[in-house]
Amino acid sequence: MPLPDANNYSMRIYELLKETDLENLSYAQFQGVAEKLFIEPENEDEMRRLVLVQLARMAVRGDWDGFLTGGGGSGAPTDAEYVVMSLNGTLTNERVLAAGTGISLTDGGAGSNATIANTGVTSNVAGTGISVSAATGASTITNTGVTSLVAGTNITLSPGSGVGDVTVTAATPTGLAPNDASYLTLGLDGDLTNERVLTAGTGIAFTDTGANGTLTIEATGGGGSGYQPVLPDRDGSFPASNRELYLVSCMPPWGNTQSSSTSSTTASNNPYFRPFISPVTGTVTEIQVNVNSDAGTPDYTIGIYSDSGGLPNSKITEGTISISATGVLALTSFTGTPALVAGTQYHFAWVRKDTSGAGNFTAESADTCFKYSPVSQTFPNLTSIGNSGAVVALSSGSPNALPATVSTGNLNPFSNNPIRFGLRWD
């Protein structure tokens, strides 16, 4: 039946919505027809038909969306921040519910449930100091290890009980040395800002026994007595041919006072030592000696030692001379680098390597050499003191070899004639 006082046929509402059933009539379609209808007396019949269609749609769908864009009646707002299962063309501010890492989402469909499940953590396992009330599902995790904190030296806790959220504060230590002082150290330290590293220079050696031990500083380049005569070196105005060989055993202060008077050494299995002052700074390239006798053709070890307190200390260099004939022999191969410093005191050393063989070297006469060491107190008077003290020897502890370090407790004065020798710095 047509509406009262209305035409039997609608030229607008029914024409636009024909062939659309109420179940599938969307709000967007309905709104598109309704928004274009002007409110005028001529449109009264169409507006009544519009309300009739909406009432019929509401009865079938069970909802009420309103006629126009802003909604109306008791319908829900379209711009609320809904969580939905999928995007909707009418809503403008919705969020789609999505499953993240370790989560699954099962949609049971309209009128059913959307189930969210944990797919990541499948069980709870207690570690050291931790307990769990259940291996799966809802579980209470409890700390069973650290129950409270205790303040140590220069540490304060807030709260003082050490339980709960605790703030640990380090107190400023008292009685400690400043870290910006100009300390002398054996190595750089990351906590110090102004330290200097103690370093051994030329002629100095350190012996460090470690923490809580001792650091021993000793001279390795000689100069034990502080008496350093100035001797001409190769930088002088001598012709080159006259400054190649320095007859050091004839130079002051420990040389022969009558170098024209010579003698010979006594073969010995114990090392002998005689001091000398180096006239040159540089590395010795050759030691020359003269063989006085080649009897038994023994081998000799010849070396140079540093000085400590006027006595031989550490071996700097050594080499072997094989006596096979009389005359000048030149030693040019060394173990250790014979680097000497001008004006510094050293010690010349020699010992027979073989236990036999009477071969010997030309020597300075002990009778005409300056005394080097103290002598026995048993002389009846000083009118005849002999030639004891021209050299010192190790009386024990190093047979037929030159030791790395001289044990001064085994040194004794001897009257053996010191070897005449010369040094070259090429």
Contacts of 110 (CB under 8 A, 6+ apart): none
Query: Which residue, among 424, 426, 418, has the nearest Cα to 250 in the 3D structure?
Result: 418
Spatial distance between the Cα atoms of 322 and 337, rounded to a whole number of angstroms:
21
The residues with which 276 forms a beta bridge, in sequence order, are 346
Q: Residue 354's pLDDT is what?
A: 84
Q: Residue 303's pLDDT is what?
A: 97
Distances (CA, A) of 1 to 8, 9, 355, 359: 8, 11, 150, 156
403 CB neighbour count, 10 Å cutoff: 18
Query: Which residue, among 234, 236, 230, has the nearest Cα to 245 in the 3D structure?
Result: 234
Q: What are 182's two structure tokens? A: 């100009």
Burial 110-133 (b: 16+ CB within 10 A, else e): eeeeeeeeeeeeeebeeeeeeeee
Give pTM, 2 decimals: 0.48
Secondary-structure breakdown of the chain: helix, strand, coil percentages, each rounded to the nearest 5: 10, 30, 60
Domain 240-376+385-424: CATH class, spelled out: mainly beta
Spatial distance between the Cα atoms of 314 and 403, rounded to a whole number of angstroms:
8
Domain with CATH 2.60.120 in the chain: 240-376+385-424
Q: Residue 45's pLDDT is what?
A: 76
Distances (CA, A) of 3 to 14, 31, 34, 283: 13, 22, 18, 132
Q: Residue 225's pLDDT is what?
A: 47
Encode 332-374 in three state secondary structure: CCCECCCEECCCCEEEEEEEECCCCCCCEEEEECHHHECCCCC
Query: Which residue, among 98, 96, 99, 79, has the nearest Cα to 87 in the 3D structure?
Result: 96
Q: Residue 72's pLDDT is what?
A: 46
Q: Following DSSP, what letter does each residue of 396-416 receive, concatenated?
A: SS-TTS--SB--GGGEEEE-P
For residue 207, the SS3 value is strand
152 CB neighbour count, 10 Å cutoff: 10
Mean pLDDT for back-to-back runs of 10 residues, the chain (426 residues):
59 71 75 73 75 76 54 67 86 88 86 84 77 77 75 82 78 76 85 85 76 78 52 57 78 81 85 92 93 93 94 95 93 94 93 89 88 72 73 82 91 89 89
Give the pLDDT confidence of 268-300 residue by residue, as tens digits: 899 999 999 998 888 999 999 999 999 999 999
Q: What are 386's two structure tokens? A: 């002999």
